[in-house]
Chains A and B, each alone.
Chain A
Amino acid sequence: MSKKIVVILRKPPHGSLFPAEGLRVAVAVSASETKVVSIGDSTYAFIKETDMTLYKHHLDFLKEAEIPVFIDKDSLEERGLAEGDLVEGVMVKEHTKILNMIAEADATLTF
Chain B
Amino acid sequence: MPTISFLFFSGPYQSESPETTIELAKAALEKNMKVKIFCYMDAVNCVKTGQKKVPGVTNIEEQFRELITKGAEVRLCTLCMLVRGTKDFIEGAKRSGTPEIADMVEESDRVLVIS
Interface residues of chain A, those whose CB is within 8 Å of chain B, are 2-3, 5, 17-18, 21, 24-25, 27-29, 31-32, 106-111
Query: Is A28 within 8 A of B41, CB to CB?
Result: no
Residue in A25, A107, A110 whose beta carbon sits within 8 Å of that of B115 in the complex: A110
Give the tally of cross-chain contacts (CB within 8 A): 38
Write the nearest CB–CB distance from A35 to chain B, whole angstroms: 13
The chain B residue sitting closest to A11, CB to CB, is B115
Interface of chain B, helix or strand or loop or mixed?
mixed
* Besides A17-B41, A106-B105, 17 other A-B contacts (C-beta < 8 A): A2-B106, A3-B106, A5-B105, A21-B40, A21-B41, A28-B99, A28-B102, A29-B105, A32-B105, A107-B108, A108-B113, A109-B101, A109-B111, A109-B113, A110-B113, A110-B115, A111-B115
Complex Cα distance A18/B7, Å?
A: 13
Complex Cα distance A23/B97, Å?
A: 14
Contacts of B105 in A (CB 8 A): 3, 5, 29, 32, 106-107, 109
Interface residues of chain B, those whose CB is within 8 Å of chain A, are 7, 40-41, 97-99, 101-102, 105-106, 108, 111, 113, 115
Contacts of B111 in A (CB 8 A): 107-109
Complex Cα distance A109/B41, Å?
A: 14
